[in-house]
Amino acid sequence: MMDQLIGDPAITEAMRRIRDEGDLAELVARAAWTVIAEPGDAVAGTLIAELGAVEALEHALARRAGGVPATTVDADGLSARRALADARKRWQPRADPHAVRAAVLGAHDVGATLLIPGDEQWPTSLDDLGVNAPSGLWIRGRRASLVAAPRVAIVGARASSGYGEHVAAELAGDLAATGAVIVSGGAYGIDGAAHRAALGVGGATIAFLAGGVDRPYPAGHQHLLRQIVDDGAVVSELPCGAAPTKWRFLARNRLIAALAHATVVVEAGWRSGSLNTAGHAAALGRPLGAVPGPVTSASSAGCHRLLREYDAHCVTSAAEVRELWGVLPAPVERGDLIDPERIRLLDAMSSRSRVSETELARRAGLSPDRVRTLLGLLDLEGEVLRDDRGWRRTSAPGG
Amino acid sequence: MMDQLIGDPAITEAMRRIRDEGDLAELVARAAWTVIAEPGDAVAGTLIAELGAVEALEHALARRAGGVPATTVDADGLSARRALADARKRWQPRADPHAVRAAVLGAHDVGATLLIPGDEQWPTSLDDLGVNAPSGLWIRGRRASLVAAPRVAIVGARASSGYGEHVAAELAGDLAATGAVIVSGGAYGIDGAAHRAALGVGGATIAFLAGGVDRPYPAGHQHLLRQIVDDGAVVSELPCGAAPTKWRFLARNRLIAALAHATVVVEAGWRSGSLNTAGHAAALGRPLGAVPGPVTSASSAGCHRLLREYDAHCVTSAAEVRELWGVLPAPVERGDLIDPERIRLLDAMSSRSRVSETELARRAGLSPDRVRTLLGLLDLEGEVLRDDRGWRRTSAPGG
């Protein structure tokens, strides 16, 4: 199988056309892994981590199962052997050089390339996924956007409300205008509003697809995805030609969460797929934000669930999103420090009539000495005025 | 002074009319303390805790400052002495037997009574306020409501929105209908909506006022407060005749927070007074809930601030409010458990055309053995059908 891949001029030539540098065997092996294994295949990830992509592929596709390397069996030998034997059975039906060739040629047709671990523009934050990390990424657009920082995921329901789309656009526009890369899933609703707002301010945005990057999905976002290719990147771990499936949407969500420095869910129903993205962000220890909304809106129920069950941060502005990755807010004048005696003395005064110090002491429940001291301070601040008949406030109460 | 109080037949007779049992000297002394000290006076609270209300009053009002009892000076003798000397100076201007007599007669006029610590219907949860606890409570209405349980504070901005009033009414109505006592501040906006909803379902509600219980405040709530007297209680630590002041509103908030088993802020601006109530609840270790709203609404900014800065619980329903004081929710079918292989196999199937097991294995990235096992299970569940030409789903994808 490996000989058929590396020796196939159609594959190697196509690979050199989409990548003019890099280890050819490694590139072809990783392209093959994206074809053979479904996203997040932990057995594939373990094998690749231990043997490298090329040797792992030889092991995976050998007609007869060879010896399993010692390190894969040390903890629980029997189940590791069985997992590998089971994995071979699911990889074999897809082990077709024609499929790998079609994937690389398909990428070439749409101007996509393959990024693999070790590349300068490989986003190492994906390595936090461990054995569930992707074996490679197919990408159309600007590779540099994958490693630009900060990156923030703005995700949410397809069935969004006008409120949700407005907030998604406000947040993504502000963040993108100030240099953040907006990561999302290219879907209708919140995702689309976030991508569009980023493009609208001349910012960068990345769309992770659940199928091949040659398949604009959803179809109604063909034009939007084309713009994202121009000004950002459209990325997938699935090879060209692969259809998006329910499983691949779920698996794709882990890439959004892992790539971004923080994830914000803008609007989500009780069972929205974006809660799955949020769950991945939380599991990875990435900061997670949720935008609240009316409790009477089903479109915000998922966000409130994140606040209640996932300990998500409540975010209401771009500044609060920036705080998620450690940008401290400008100091806010709290204005709620309470000086009881000062309040009580002002409570006892009027802006219309004069009151004596003795009467102020009685009204405010303060000693005459304290009243005199406070009046002196308030006088300096211009809050009170004195004349022969007593003290009054300079402005009406209520502030 | 004490002799003038206890010996004044107008005071003692009036007190006996509003209270037909209890230690008369203790009652009169505590009534006098509500007149002489502003709410939350910690020196008064300390003195009363150490000497009892009667002896504390003698010390407070002696013409010449006598010796301070040993226990009040043990930690920091000098400053305790000074605090007491300062306190005497602020109590003296109010030390007027006529004012105490007027307070008791005023209570009699409106059918109010005085509750003091040790009374069967004294809400001991107020004792958590320590030296800031009230020396007594003036109350019109049903004393039993103060000790009924559970009690939940529903508070919020006067400048509320239709959304906030709707949610306040929904929560208060549901909670009151299921036996909770709704505690609030009698103000326009959220407070009023909560009181009204509780009355509307025949439930109990308590309004804490910042002035005397003989002064309906705000004036526009005269009728509402009258209804609360009939079906619940209107309560204040201020004596009859006392005007509400800014300080007294702030001090009143601590009583709402301390009386309730949990506090919920429904709607609040960035600097709403209800954040002060929330701060007291948090400081007392009482569960604190905040209702989220649109981030575009200034009326919800304070609630979002509570979620962010005070670690308040996000509450969106009466059931979630009940969880604040430990009522566990009914088990919810989560429905988001993900079985990847099951999802992938169903992804690979169609409801219209039949697919072979071999082809399903290739499409789903599963071994043929696993496909057979899963198909068997899905067949039992009625999800898939088999005939001579292969397998298909019984229903269209997308659920």
| Torsion angle in degrees (nearest 10) through CA of B53, B54, B57, B59 | -110
Any residues with CB less than 8 A from the CB of B124 and at least 6 apart, and which? Answer: none
Residues 61-120 of A with CB under 8 A from B: 86-94
Give the nearest chain A residue to B36 (CA atoms).
A365
Residue B179, classified by CB atoms within 10 Å of its CB into exposed (0-12), middle (13-18) or buried (19+), is exposed
Determine contact, residues B387/B354, Cβ cutoff 8 Å: yes
Q: How far is A347 from chain B, CA to nearest CA, in Å?
A: 6
Which of B316, B363, B371 best tests the A interface by mutation, with the highest count of A CBs <10 A? B316
B269 touches chain A (CB under 8 A): no
pLDDT of residue B331: 55
Give A101-114 pLDDT, tens digit per residue. 999 999 999 999 99
Give A180-237 pLDDT, tens digit per residue: 999 999 999 999 999 999 999 999 999 999 999 999 999 999 999 999 999 999 999 9
Mean confidence (pLDDT) of chain A: 90
Q: Coil, strand or helix: which one is A390?
A: strand
For B358, the enclosing helix (H) or strand (E) is helix B357-364
Contact A163 B294 (CB under 8 A): yes
For B90, the closest of A86, A347, A365 (CB atoms) is A365
- pLDDT given for residue A135 in this prediction: 97
- Contact between B192 and B216 under an 8 Å Cβ cutoff? The reply is no
Say which residue the tokens 């009054």 belong to: A392
**Which residues of B fall within a CB distance of 8 Å from A271?**
335-336
- Check CB contact under 8 Å for A314 and B292: yes
Contact B345, B364 (CB under 8 A): yes
Whether the CA torsion A126, A127, A132, A133 is positive or negative: it is positive
> In terms of CA atoms, which chain B residue is nearest residue A87?
B367
Cβ pair B37:A163 closer than 8 A = no
pLDDT (tens digit per residue) in A318-374: 999 999 998 766 654 444 456 888 888 999 998 889 999 999 999 998 888 889 989
3-state SS of A117-186? CCCCCCCHHHHHHHHHCCCCEEEEECHHHHCCCCEEEEECCCCCCHHHHHHHHHHHHHHHHCCCEEEECC
The dihedral sign for the CA sequence A18, A20, A24, A27: negative
User: Please, is A4 exposed, middle or buried when counting C-beta atoms within 10 Å of its C-beta (0-12, 13-18, 19+)?
Assistant: middle
| pLDDT class of A266 with cuts at 50, 70, 90 | very high
Q: How far does the CA of residue B222 sit from the closest CA of chain A (Å)?
A: 22
- ipTM reported for the complex, 2 dp: 0.83
Count how many pairs of residues, chain A against chain B, have C-beta atoms within 8 Å. Answer: 155
| 3-state SS assignment for residue A52 | coil
Helix (H) or strand (E) holding A364: helix A357-364
Chain A CB contacts of B264 under 8 Å are none
Cβ–Cβ under 8 Å, residues B394 and B382: yes
Tokens in use for B298? 């200034």
Nearest CA-CA distance, residue B164 and chain A, Å: 9
CB contact under 8 A, B307 and A292: yes
Q: Express each pLDDT in B134-167 by its tens digit.
A: 999 999 999 999 999 999 999 999 999 999 999 9
Alpha-carbon gap, residue A72 to A50, rounded angstroms? 8
CA distance, residue A23 to nearest chain B CA (Å): 27
Name the closest residue on chain A to residue B242, using Cα atoms: A363
- Comparing B261 with A68, the larger pLDDT belongs to B261
> Domains of chain B (ranges plus CATH)?
2-109 (no CATH), 142-324 (3.40.50.450), 340-393 (1.10.10.10)
User: How far from B291 is each of A80, A334, B69, B103, B270, CA to CA, in Å?
Assistant: 49, 22, 48, 39, 14
- Three-class secondary structure of residue B335 per DSSP: coil
User: What average pLDDT does range A61-65 have in this prediction?
Assistant: 68
pLDDT along chain B (399 residues), means of 10: 73 92 94 95 93 92 60 55 84 90 96 97 96 97 95 97 98 97 98 98 98 96 97 97 94 97 97 93 95 98 96 96 82 58 90 91 89 89 88 74
Distance CA A246, CA B371 (A): 17
For range A126-132, the mean pLDDT: 95
What is the distance in angstroms between the Cα of B11 and the nearest Cα belonging to chain A? 21
> A105 with A16: CB under 8 angstroms?
no
Torsion of CA A276, A278, A284, A287, to 10 degrees: 180
pTM above 0.95, yes or no: no
Q: What is the DSSP letter of B146?
A: G
For residue A337, the surrounding DSSP H or E stretch is none
Residue B286: the pLDDT is 94
With beta carbons less than 8 A apart as the criterion, state whether A213 and A138 touch: yes
Helix (H, G, I), strand (E, B) or coil at A248: helix
Beta carbons of B378 and B346 less than 8 angstroms apart: yes
Q: What is the largest CA-CA distance in chain A?
A: 108
B332 in A contact zone (CB under 8 Å): no
pLDDT one-digit tens code per residue, A15-54: 999 999 999 999 999 999 999 999 999 999 999 999 999 9
pLDDT of residue A62: 77
User: What is the model's pLDDT at position B112?
Assistant: 98
The DSSP secondary structure of B103-143, one letter per residue, reads: HHHHHHHTT-EEE-TTSTT--GGGGGGGGGS-S-EEEEE-G
Chain A closest-CA separation from residue B20 CA (Å): 31
CB–CB of B367 and A320 under 8 A? no
Residues of B with Cβ-Cβ distance to A364 under 8 angstroms? 38
Residues B259 and B151 sit within 8 Å (Cβ to Cβ): yes
Amino acid code (one letter) for B132: N
Longest CA–CA separation in chain B, Å: 109
Q: Are B240 and B264 in contact (CB under 8 A)?
A: no
Among chain B residues, CA nearest to A91: B365
Higher pLDDT, B225 or A386: B225
Q: Which residues of B touch A307 (CB under 8 A)?
A: 292, 307, 314
The yes-or-no verdict on residue A73 having pLDDT over 50 is: no
For an interface test with A, give the residue of B35, B36, B90, B346 to mutate (most A CBs within 10 A): B90
- Look at residue B169 and give its three-state secondary structure: helix
Per-residue confidence (pLDDT) for residue B73, from 0 to 100: 45
Residue A250: phi and psi, rounded to 5, are -65, -45
Structural contact between residues A45 and A53, judged by C-beta atoms closer than 8 angstroms: no
